[in-house]
Amino acid sequence: MPFDASRFRTRTGVLLITGLLFLLLLPPVSSVMNESYLVSFFSRILIYALAAVSLDLIIGYGGMVSLGHAAFFGIGAYGVGFLTFHFQESTLFIFGFEGTDNALISWPFAIVFSAALAAIIGALSLRTSGIYFIMITLAFSQMFYYLFVSLEAYGGDDGLSLWSRNRLGPLDISNDTVFYYVCLVSLLVFLFISWRLVHSRFGRVVRGTRENELRMQTLGYATYRYKLVCFTIAGAGAGLAGALLANQNEFVSPGLMHWTHSGEILVMVLLGGMGTLFGPVLGAMAFLLMEEVLAAWTEHWMVFLGPFLIIVVLFAKKGLYGLLTGERHE
Amino acid sequence: MLLFIEQILNGLQLGIMLFLMSAGLTLIFGIMRIINLAHGSFYMIGAYVAATVASYTGSFLLGLLAALPAAALSGMLVELIVFRKLYNRDHLDQVLATFGLILFFNELTRIIWGRQPLFMDVPSWLSHTVELIPGIPYPSYRLAIIFVGIMVALLLYLLFTRTRLGMQIRAGAANREMIAALGVNIKLLNTLVFGLGTLLAGLAGIMAGPILAVEAGMGESILILTFVVIVIGGIGSIKGAMIAAILVGLVDTLGGFLLPSLLRLFLPAATADGAGMSLASMSVYILMAVILIWKPRGLFPVQG
């Protein structure tokens, strides 16, 4: 019904504008409230939101259930970690390149590094589908986890500590508020790209493939290539999130690639609402807030999270975004 | 050379553990078309119950006798409460719900048993070594694991080929709707198969107890290798699980042993050891990738 549709669109618009205003105003408000810790906490939320949105591209729109997304997240973090480490040690990185603390070099490097590995893993994994695809993405991400644990030169299991955040042109991102806005802009840019992508011809092909791959193939689309490009773009997004997280924590470790980390990002997508792009942002916020609140209350908070998750899966699949906007998820 | 044979036996023993895990999991996949990330939790439950009972009574056998039903019953209970609602859902829902189960079980064991790992003694009647091949003393406990694994494989073979239940399970894997229409109680069959699968996982956990530390999250490290086994063997195929489990066990064990010394032939020792260790940690996954390029549905794909 046209009337209903327009009403929903208004609700969605109100939600999105409120959300954007909230995120824009958070640093000044929290400094007035003297809760400056909130800025760094919400930077973390924005970074995870970026990772969750990129995962939503492949799961929500592509219908590819990847359980290895944290690998690209971690590899992005290590992309920054490697370059910064060699800069600190004044040693050469591979192929005679020097390390650098310049974000304009190391962040694109992290994104390309993640995207390249996503392309390789995607090319292998997308030969399969269904349960096989889930297990293979999981296994490959664990492969990277074990690989990075075995890299003694880069701290192995203990990870790498960065002495400081990267240099980003004239911006001083060692300042938490500046860094917060950098994360916010990164998220908005990636959301914009993703939005354009899923509503383009490319996005329609990918969504069509999710619904009925055989039909799309019969129509003449090389679905494998479309899925692979989608997977690679998502890998690039996760790589950017990883580069930001390395700067946020000033620390990288193989734990970032562990498959339970993939599971957590997946939970964020589910909580927010799959196939909605903006939903995962809400999901990341809800998940990390819930973790913060429950963890302060009991160290055994996961014993509640587990059953909660099962209940959400069984009874509330629309996610927060669907709940708030009344829109049905994709 | 002696060390090499010992490593092969270690690889076999790991392969047997992986077989016990993957046989149950591949059955559950094959019949119920459900992806169960929480299979490692029943491995953990088996190990914890066995370690606790064994330390109270001092008897490994009593621990075994208590832990087997514990794993099977908890599996059937979880099937009744959670999995029944997941059969007709898509794989993503199954992944998320079973991920929730993992979080729950891991945290529950931390609440009950604490964060410190438990240690379990090798039963005294298996604590000596035997010289199976002259000159190579090998712990009899590890040999017992290999023996038990082979026995279980034989029993499963007999169950599937010689009994009515086995026939129904095979029929269920081939066509669910048809055997339900023929009057087989498919709900009961699901619960039984689930119990059988978690029983095998529990058995693996019990046997792993004296070798590894019994701790929360122990199920996940073996779960990933189990997935690799199932992907290589072909989902739903017990035969594939057996062969792939031995293959993965051998590659994983021998890789860490052979690769560094192999690379020393070409590279300086320090580089060779580092690269060898890295390669060894990836070897199983590289094996999986190669097999997938060759056969995307695994070595022994099941029709249906």
- The residue ranking higher by pLDDT, B202 or B257, is B202
Question: Among A283-287, A326-330, B93-97, where is mean pLDDT lowest?
Answer: A326-330
pLDDT of residue A327: 64
- Give per-residue pLDDT as tens, A15-72: 888 888 888 888 788 778 877 788 889 999 999 999 999 999 999 898 898 989 999 9
- The residue ranking higher by pLDDT, A163 or A45, is A45
φ, ψ of residue B236 to 5 degrees: the values are 95, -5
Region A179-204: mean pLDDT is 92
pTM of the model: 0.87
Region B208-214: mean pLDDT is 87
Of the candidates B101, B277, B281, which has its C-beta nearest A306's C-beta? B101
pLDDT of residue A3: 44
At a CB cut-off of 8 Å and minimum separation 6, what does B179 contact? B168, B171, B172, B186
With a cut of 80, say whether residue B210 has pLDDT above it.
Answer: yes
Q: What is the DSSP secondary structure assignment for residue A60, as one 8-state letter?
A: I
Q: What is the DSSP string of B15-83?
A: HHHHHHHHHHHHHHHHHH----TTHHHHHHHHHHHHHHHHHHHS-HHHHHHHHHHHHHHHHHHHHHHTG
Say yes or no: B227 contacts chain A, CB-CB below 8 A: yes
Distance CA A53, CA B25 (A): 32
pLDDT of residue A40: 87
Q: Tell me which chain B residue has its CA closest to the CA of residue A153.
A: B274
Residue ranges of B 87-146 with Cβ closer than 8 A to chain A: 89, 91-93, 95-97, 99-108, 110-111
- Give per-residue pLDDT as tens, B96-117: 999 999 999 999 999 999 888 8
Of the candidates B35, B105, B107, which has its C-beta nearest A131's C-beta? B35
Distance CA B169, CA B163 (A): 10
* Listed residue (B116, B111, B121, B109) closest to B42, CA to CA: B109
Region A275-290: mean pLDDT is 90
Distance CA B248, CA A156 (A): 24
What's the CATH fold of domain B2-129+138-294? ABC transporter involved in vitamin B12 uptake, BtuC (1.10.3470)
Of the candidates A136, A147, A270, which has its C-beta nearest B278's C-beta? A147
pLDDT of residue A330: 47
Region A302-317: mean pLDDT is 85
With a cut of 70, say whether residue A5 has pLDDT above it.
Answer: no
With a cut of 70, say whether residue A8 has pLDDT above it.
Answer: no
pLDDT of residue A2: 42
- The residue ranking higher by pLDDT, B301 or B21, is B21
Say yes or no: B229 contacts chain A, CB-CB below 8 A: no
Question: Among A23-32, A229-238, B272-281, B285-294, where is mean pLDDT lowest?
Answer: B272-281
Contact A132 B35 (CB under 8 A): no
Q: What is the DSSP string of A9-41?
A: HHHHHHHHHHHHHHHHHHHHHHHHTT-THHHHH
Contact B106 A302 (CB under 8 A): yes
Say yes or no: B3 contacts chain A, CB-CB below 8 A: no
With a cut of 80, say whether residue B266 has pLDDT above it.
Answer: no
Question: Where do we find the tokens 């048809």?
Answer: B178
Q: Which of the listed ranges A176-190, A293-307, B121-135 does the model predict with the highest average pLDDT?
A: A176-190
How large is the ipTM? 0.84
* Listed residue (B80, B79, B55) closest to B67, CA to CA: B55
Band of pLDDT at residue A233, cut at 50, 70 and 90: very high
pLDDT of residue B51: 92
DSSP β-bridge partners for residue A251:
A161
Band of pLDDT at residue A238, cut at 50, 70 and 90: very high
Element (H, E) at B92: helix B91-113
- Give per-residue pLDDT as tens, B146-169: 999 999 999 988 988 889 888 888
Of the candidates A135, A152, A310, which has its C-beta nearest B100's C-beta? A310
β-pair type (A160-161, A251-252): antiparallel
- Give per-residue pLDDT as tens, A90-101: 777 766 676 777
φ, ψ of residue A92 to 5 degrees: the values are -85, 140
Region A136-160: mean pLDDT is 85
Contact B107 A302 (CB under 8 A): yes
Question: Among A35-44, A164-173, A220-229, B217-226, where is mean pLDDT lowest?
Answer: A164-173
Question: Among A25-29, A273-277, B52-56, where is mean pLDDT lowest?
Answer: A25-29
Task: List the structure tokens of B107.
Answer: 């945290």
With a cut of 80, say whether residue B249 has pLDDT above it.
Answer: yes
Question: Among A17-21, B47-51, B239-243, where is mean pLDDT lowest?
Answer: A17-21
- The residue ranking higher by pLDDT, B251 or A26, is B251
Contact A140 B285 (CB under 8 A): yes
